[in-house]
Structure 1
Amino acid sequence: MAEHSIRPFVAKGRTTDRREHFMTDTRTSLTRRDWMRGAAATAGLLAAPGQASARRIAPSDRVNVAIIGAGGMGAQNMTKLTGENIVAVADVDFGYVAKAFVDDKGLARPERQLLKQAYDRAAKFADYRRMLDSRKDIDAVVIATPDHHHAIAAKTAMEHGLHVYVQKPLTYTVREGRKLLDLARRNPKLVTQMGNQGHSGDDGRRVVELIRGGVIGRVREVHAWTNRPVWPQGEARPAAVPKPAALDWDLWLGPAAVDWGYNPDYAHFNWRGWVPFGIGSLGDMGAHLIDFPVWALEPGLPTRIETRHSRWGGDADIWDGKPPADLGSYPLANITTYQFGHAKGGPITMTWYDGGLMPPTPAAMPATARMNPDGGVLYIGERGMLMHDTYGEKPVLVGEGTAARAAAVPVSLARVQGGREGHEMNWIRAIRGEEAISSPFAVAVPLNETMILGMVAMRADQPIEYDGAAGQITNLADANRFLDREYREGWAL
């Protein structure tokens, strides 16, 4: 079998009919009726009861934006939005936020100085709930907190009539995602976006077109992998140490129902691997990698999920094969197998690998088509294979005749202005009515739910069978508790 690069076939065209974009680009893994309701709600095409009020913003207007979680990824997002009015900033540690404007040597980063000036002018808050209650000039909110805050911050903002951009994973639990989707449907004028920027990329959209166009034939098997975690995981919980003076640790804990003292292994970047605060590598990279098979193949929600993994973080001397009662960090590596029994084109198996694990190389794969150890996706079809890197980039076709078939597949998905780097501004342009939204909650919630179910299977410690319509695990009643979580007093969703 021959290998062919498909990059020459990545078209830059743009569709002109917005209705066509929604028909081809925002399908979800729910039923068709649910999808139509969700897409229409996101597009602002249906009236809904209990609609939150949002200011009408013309194409010539600048959007008044607030940020929750202003350092780290939040600063990356907001650097793209300095052309708007950044009116308010909420963060629990402005000492950490200040580090976003300098490099490792303490020198000013030129590309961040406009953002620094905007932050300097903006109103400052430690508690985002107070910001949302007190500031009446906000139109839209970017949420870039640790995972355990996402749903509460997004729900609160939307109930105030604000458009929301929420970093991935969209939520910490399945129940939270479904609540946000319901809220989006009931408030159709609010523009929602998840921060899986690859969804706006040209390469990824071409991948979807080629898979749907039958270039590699019917796909029954998908493999996705990542080099994450690159943070502490598979480790015992460390002892508490004095927190930085600028950090409000109580607010950082927020809804997490644990009484853990501060340790730098949790905050600021390292929280992803700790069970009360993040959902591990699947939460971090699943939104970028699983996105494309879910989008292209329309498999619906998984019907069976099983996770095999290394040891949970804890004391190895007392390990008994089950997660410790007081869960600390996630296992260092896992392999999760998803069965999609109701996929549009027939059953599909998708396998996820993290912790540096990778799938075996198919016998038909040429030596020149090596898997990227940092991350990627491999689709195995009846007439060939397609492989791409994280974010859908650098797609490569393998198989005789695949290049010719790819050349014949027309552009059917609208291209987002700026591609992957334009994901944040796509949200702004959608708020102004200039461009269809890329990854609204109608798209993001089923993807997010698929990711989270891998973590649910890990915690259940055995395969789970899932009824997506009911949102219930059917073979292990006790595991349904992992679809939800306990909240600390004062932070209920």
Structure 2
Amino acid sequence: MALKNNSRRNFIKQAATTAAGFYIVPRHVLGRGYRAPSDKLNIAGIGAGGKAEVNLPYAWNNGAENIVALCDVDDRMAVKARTQWPKAPYYKDFRDLLDKEHKNIDAVMVTIPDHMHGVAALAAMQMGKHVYCEKPLTHDIYEARILTKAAEKYRVVTQMGNQGSSGDDTRNIETWIQGGVIGDVHTVHVWTNRPTWPQGIPTPTGKFAIPRELDWNLWLGTAPFRNFNPTYLPATWRGWSDFGTGSLGDMGCHFIDVPYRALKLRYPMSVSCSVGSVYSGFFNEEVYTDSYPPSSVTYIKFPAREAMPPVELAWYDGGIKPRRPDELLPDEPMGEWDGGMIFEGTKGKLMAGLFGRNPTLLPTRLMKESQLPPSKFPFVDRSTEGHQTQWTNACKQGYGAYTSSSFDKSGPLAETVLMGNLAVRSYNYQEKNSKGDISYPGRKELLWDGENQRITNFEPANQFVRRQYRGNYSLNL
């Protein structure tokens, strides 16, 4: 394909002038049979409903690009997209789409349940397609590492769908933290109102007819087989460990991305947690490992890096929040309705909402009294370049073009987020001694070897690093 032609790319870099973030080259310069980088990008959607109803239109950008193929295992979810782009061929199996349409597509948007992200994104990259993949990038820690390596190996432009990473508030916080406005940060608190779907519940039972529009086997994909139940659809799959990644997966890549960038974090060194319990009677605790708990608190520790000291990041979900800072006045809100974050440094505190929105020094009067450094990042007109269009523009420029959440950045972030789930899923792991007494060794601090992706002090936890796929799906570079 023309977009992958190295000699063409080298020529463009020598002959083109840069405008609006990508190269503008007259078609007659490139000659017949070549696609100018300023021409439309041909995009396929793996996943046509749900979040795709946001991602595809933004990428399409009122016709600036082409949506040339669609895929969804559930025809009901694809109605809106198929109506908007009626000429785009439609498939149920992403493998069929890639096999039959690979000559017609330049880039792929992956917007399907978490347990299928890894195999779909990798398959597209192996065909040389640029990839936009929804957060949390993957279901497993191992999968995130593979996608990070694949983006470099196959030299494709990538973006994870945590749109706040392209926002100005994130960039301001990064500038202020690294500029020493609140001194050396040692603790970060991050919280969310999620889950806003059922969690901490038993596996549903009963027999239900599979809707004729749904290919249940394809929907299950890599996950172990189970009978269809309407409880899992259309979005409540997030609360089930075989399919989703719970509150952390849903919102962690949005919230934790901000301190991850500002504090130059990489692999953590340990993780621990506590989780909410469900009781069916007096002292009768029910542990539903098929579903994530109704609430949790997770502590992730990071070592010193560059000139920054060690830091602990505390994550709270299910309605749990950190202690209210003394610096906040009684009537001042803490964070926003859907969550927030607080940085604690040796010289002060900084509070913000989702995506780092409305960053505020504490006490809040300091926002008027302090001279804050301007953002170290260049101004970008967000009305013309959002998170998705940033990716499409970069695809036209080719491998190496900047995106806010390329897999070399979002892959390690996703690994860190998923470390929290490893701790949560290990928490209720049971062992019995010779007397039959039950202990919960998962309820301790788990030590992490990031380079080798292993918990070093509790072997059973490593089953949550990489799962076994059902069927003929694979994740081989």
Same fold (TM over 0.5): yes
SS where residue 302 of structure 1 aligns?
coil
The aligned residue for residue 373 of structure 2 is 409
Describe the superposition over 1:419-466 as per-residue Cα deviations: whole angstroms up to 9, x where unpaired: 797000000011112962111001001110010000101122222111
Aligned 1:204-223 pairs, distance under 5 A: 204-223=170-189
Q: 1:392 aligns with which of 348, 352, 356?
A: 356
Q: 2:152 aligns with which of 185, 189, 193?
A: 185
The aligned residue for residue 91 of structure 1 is 72
Length-normalised TM-score, structure 2: 0.83
Describe the superposition over 1:124-147 as per-residue Cα deviations: whole angstroms up to 9, x where unpaired: 000001110111211000000000
Q: Shift in Å at residue 57 of structure 1?
A: 5.6
SS where residue 232 of structure 2 aligns?
coil
The aligned residue for residue 34 of structure 1 is none
The aligned residue for residue 336 of structure 1 is 298
Aligned 1:35-184 pairs, distance under 5 A: 58-82=36-60, 83=63, 84-98=65-79, 101=80, 117-135=83-101, 136-184=103-151
Q: Distance in 1 between matches of 2:110 and 2:284?
A: 39
CA contact (8 A) 1:384 1:400 kept: no
SS where residue 241 of structure 2 aligns?
coil
Q: Distance in 2 between matches of 1:398 and 1:69?
A: 42
CA contact (8 A) 1:155 1:180 kept: yes
Q: Distance in 1 between matches of 2:352 and 2:176?
A: 12
**CA separation of 1:203 and 1:319: change in aligned 2, threshold 3 A:** same
CA contact (8 A) 1:385 1:398 kept: yes
The aligned residue for residue 344 of structure 2 is 380
Describe the superposition over 1:127-175 as per-residue Cα deviations: whole angstroms up to 9, x where unpaired: 0011101112110000000000000000000011100000001011111
Q: Distance in 1 between matches of 2:117 and 2:75?
A: 19
Describe the superposition over 1:161-191 as per-residue Cα deviations: whole angstroms up to 9, x where unpaired: 1000000010111111111111112122x10
Q: Distance in 2 between matches of 1:475 and 1:241?
A: 43
Q: 1:270 aligns with which of 216, 223, 236?
A: 236
Question: Bigger radius of gyration, 1 or 2?
Answer: 2
The aligned residue for residue 285 of structure 1 is 251
Q: Distance in 1 between matches of 2:184 and 2:285?
A: 39
Q: Work out which structure has the larger RCO, using CA pairs closer than 8 Å and 6 or more positions apart in sequence.
A: 1
CA contact (8 A) 1:197 1:420 kept: no
User: Which amino acid in structure 2 is aligned with residue 76 of structure 1?
Assistant: V
**CA separation of 1:473 and 1:370: change in aligned 2, threshold 3 A:** same
SS where residue 407 of structure 1 aligns?
coil
Q: Distance in 2 between matches of 1:405 and 1:470?
A: 47
Aligned pair count?
Answer: 420
User: Which amino acid in structure 2 is aligned with residue 178 of structure 1?
Assistant: R
Q: Distance in 2 between matches of 1:320 and 1:132?
A: 50
The aligned residue for residue 168 of structure 2 is 202
Q: Shift in Å at residue 118 of structure 1?
A: 4.3
Q: Shift in Å at residue 469 of structure 1?
A: 2.2
The aligned residue for residue 223 of structure 2 is 256
**CA separation of 1:263 and 1:411: change in aligned 2, threshold 3 A:** same
Describe the superposition over 1:232-253 as per-residue Cα deviations: whole angstroms up to 9, x where unpaired: 2111111242222211111000
Deviant stretches of 4+, over 3 Å = 55-59, 115-118, 315-324, 399-408, 414-417
Q: Shift in Å at residue 318 of structure 1?
A: 12
SS where residue 341 of structure 2 aligns?
strand
CA contact (8 A) 1:300 1:342 kept: no
Instruction: Tell whether 2:437 aligns with 1:460.
Output: no
What RMSD in Å do the two structures reach over aligned CA positions? 2.5
Q: Distance in 2 between matches of 1:484 and 1:323?
A: 22
Q: Shift in Å at residue 95 of structure 1?
A: 1.7
SS where residue 59 of structure 2 aligns?
coil
Instruction: Tell whether 2:195 aligns with 1:229.
Output: yes
User: Which amino acid in structure 1 is aligned with residue 323 of structure 2?
Assistant: P
Q: Shift in Å at residue 376 of structure 1?
A: 0.8
Q: Distance in 1 between matches of 2:364 and 2:338?
A: 27
CA contact (8 A) 2:171 2:375 kept: no
Q: Shift in Å at residue 210 of structure 1?
A: 1.1
Q: Shift in Å at residue 58 of structure 1?
A: 3.4
Q: Distance in 2 between matches of 1:175 and 1:243?
A: 32
Instruction: Tell whether 2:472 aligns with 1:490.
Output: yes
- More deviation, 410-419/337-346: 410-419
CA contact (8 A) 1:57 1:432 kept: no
Q: Distance in 2 between matches of 1:369 and 1:419?
A: 31
The aligned residue for residue 436 of structure 1 is 402
Q: 1:476 aligns with which of 437, 458, 464?
A: 458
5+ unaligned residues in a row in structure 1: which ranges?
1-42, 44-54, 102-114
User: Which amino acid in structure 2 is aligned with residue 349 of structure 1?
Assistant: E
Length-normalised TM-score, structure 1: 0.80
CA contact (8 A) 1:226 1:374 kept: yes
Q: Shift in Å at residue 300 of structure 1?
A: 2.4
Q: Distance in 2 between matches of 1:91 and 1:374?
A: 30
Describe the superposition over 1:37-87 as per-residue Cα deviations: whole angstroms up to 9, x where unpaired: xxxxxx9xxxxxxxxxxx986342100000011001011101112221111
The aligned residue for residue 105 of structure 1 is none
Q: Distance in 2 between matches of 1:57 and 1:181?
A: 28
CA contact (8 A) 1:465 1:474 kept: yes
User: Which amino acid in structure 1 is aligned with residue 460 of structure 2?
Assistant: D
The aligned residue for residue 12 of structure 2 is none
Instruction: Tell whether 2:204 aligns with 1:238.
Output: yes
5+ unaligned residues in a row in structure 2: which ranges?
1-21, 23-32, 428-442
The aligned residue for residue 104 of structure 1 is none
User: Which amino acid in structure 2 is aligned with residue 97 of structure 1?
Assistant: A
Describe the superposition over 1:74-116 as per-residue Cα deviations: whole angstroms up to 9, x where unpaired: 1110111222111100001122222xx4xxxxxxxxxxxxx55
CA contact (8 A) 2:255 2:355 kept: yes
Q: 1:363 aligns with which of 322, 326, 334?
A: 326
Q: Shift in Å at residue 470 of structure 1?
A: 2.2
CA contact (8 A) 1:200 1:420 kept: no
CA contact (8 A) 1:65 1:141 kept: yes
User: Which amino acid in structure 2 is aligned with residue 222 of structure 1?
Assistant: V
